[in-house]
């Protein structure tokens, strides 16, 4: 088969080109090759040939043969957020590597919309659903369970099915300690000078706040309740909270723990209305990573949640027999100020 031919390759073409049986090629393309103990080098060769010769699976024919559509869903709360967009990008790459087709949708943190969207995806005969950051994961579970659809929670846990989440308590501890130790010994931070802004009454916020308070008590010997300002995840609500604090105190705290990059956007909106001097000599920690924020004129320490490991574990658990709902926690990474990391967008290919 010549590379310049318009006709796309079939499994049998790839079998001839790779020197492997059609069943081996099929196992690589549908993601079951590890179960058959096919070598990694063989799988890589077949995937490279499939891309080179523009192999496209016939989803309709596959569905008729296997009662599977090859469609795998990811339900997000929002798209406009680096953490969730990276989640989507990494998810899509993983699904495509298994020869399947990803479908990514959002439900805007609306519990009813989450259930309705899950029902719509089920009507399109998706094979699996990854439920990320759902406001009501158990409500989505009920919809999936009724339809007999395999599903798993990511980012926020549910009580009915397995979940893979960040270790938010440990991440909260790591970030709080890094903020405190950023201050010199001759100008130490006092307990009332370190505030947490953002988050709401969800598992992730609760665990981050628990870690924040534990480290403040250990290192600063104090933890005033007033230092916790839960604003929800709205950037505008966060901005309003900063404006109210500034109006009352005439200044900002010396140190801030901002509960997510969405809340950090609210902080940036507050910054836009105030002079540079307002932010001199302060230290900020953000529980999420964004390379642009990392290069602000004051130190910004960040927590990067390990999306790659979270998804790898979720796909692994999805293949296991159904068991009691277990929460699998993945340790996040502390990122120093002025750091630009590689991400899923680096995998994009330039096309001439």
Q: What percent of the chain has pLDDT over 90?
A: 70
* Mean pLDDT of the residues in the chain: 90
- CA 338, CA 50: separation in Å to the nearest integer? 40
Classify the C-alpha dihedral 110-114-116-120 as positive or negative.
Answer: positive
Closest-CA residue to 286 (of 261, 266, 307)? 261
* Alpha-carbon distances, residue 205 vs 2, 82, 211, 300 (angstroms): 56, 18, 10, 20
What pLDDT score does 6 carry? 45
Domains and CATH numbers, the chain: 11-56 (no CATH), 62-161 (3.40.50.2300), 168-304 (3.40.50.2300)
What pLDDT score does 2 carry? 47
- CA 295, CA 22: separation in Å to the nearest integer? 52
Question: pLDDT per position in the chain (352 positions), as tens?
Answer: 444 444 567 787 888 899 998 778 877 887 777 777 888 899 889 888 888 887 766 554 454 444 578 899 999 999 988 899 999 999 999 999 888 999 999 999 999 999 999 999 998 889 999 999 999 999 999 999 999 999 999 999 999 999 999 999 999 999 999 999 999 999 999 999 999 999 988 999 999 999 999 999 999 999 999 999 999 989 999 999 999 999 999 999 999 999 999 999 999 999 999 999 999 889 999 999 999 999 999 999 999 999 999 999 999 999 888 778 999 999 999 999 999 988 777 777 776 6
């Amino acid at each position: 088969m010549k590379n310049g031919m318009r006709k796309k390759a079939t499994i049998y073409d790839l079998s001839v080109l790779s020197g492997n049986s059609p069943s081996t090629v099929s196992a690589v393309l549908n993601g079951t090759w590890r179960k058959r103990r096919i070598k990694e080098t063989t799988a890589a060769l077949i995937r490279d040939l499939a891309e080179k010769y523009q192999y496209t699976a016939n989803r309709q024919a596959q569905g008729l043969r296997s009662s599977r559509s090859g469609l795998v869903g990811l339900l997000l709360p929002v798209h406009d957020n680096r953490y969730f967009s990276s989640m989507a990008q990494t998810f899509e790459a993983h699904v495509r590597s298994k020869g399947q087709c990803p479908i990514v949708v959002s439900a805007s943190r609306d519990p009813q919309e989450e259930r309705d969207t899950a029902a719509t995806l089920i009507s399109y005969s998706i094979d699996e659903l990854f439920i990320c950051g759902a406001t009501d994961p158990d409500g989505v579970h009920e919809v999936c369970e009724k339809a007999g659809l395999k599903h798993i929670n990511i980012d926020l846990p549910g009580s009915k099915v397995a979940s893979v989440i960040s270790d938010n308590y440990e991440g909260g501890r790591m970030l709080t300690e890094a903020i405190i130790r950023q201050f010199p010994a001759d100008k130490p931070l006092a307990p009332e000078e370190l505030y947490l802004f953002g988050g709401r009454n969800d598992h992730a916020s609760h665990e981050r706040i628990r870690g924040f308070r534990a480290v403040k008590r250990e290192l600063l010997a104090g933890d005033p309740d007033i230092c916790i300002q839960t604003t929800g995840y709205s950037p505008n609500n966060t901005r309003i909270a900063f404006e109210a604090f500034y109006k009352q105190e005439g200044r900002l705290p010396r140190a801030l723990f901002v509960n997510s990059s969405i809340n950090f956007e609210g902080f940036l909106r507050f910054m836009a209305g105030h002079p540079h001097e307002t932010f001199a000599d302060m230290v900020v920690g953000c529980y999420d990573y964004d390379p642009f924020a990392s290069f602000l004129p004051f130190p910004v320490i960040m927590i990067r949640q390990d999306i790659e490991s979270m998804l790898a574990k979720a796909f692994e658990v999805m293949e296991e027999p159904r068991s009691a709902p277990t929460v699998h926690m993945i340790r996040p990474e502390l990122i120093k100020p002025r750091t630009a990391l590689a991400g899923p967008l680096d995998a994009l290919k330039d096309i001439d």
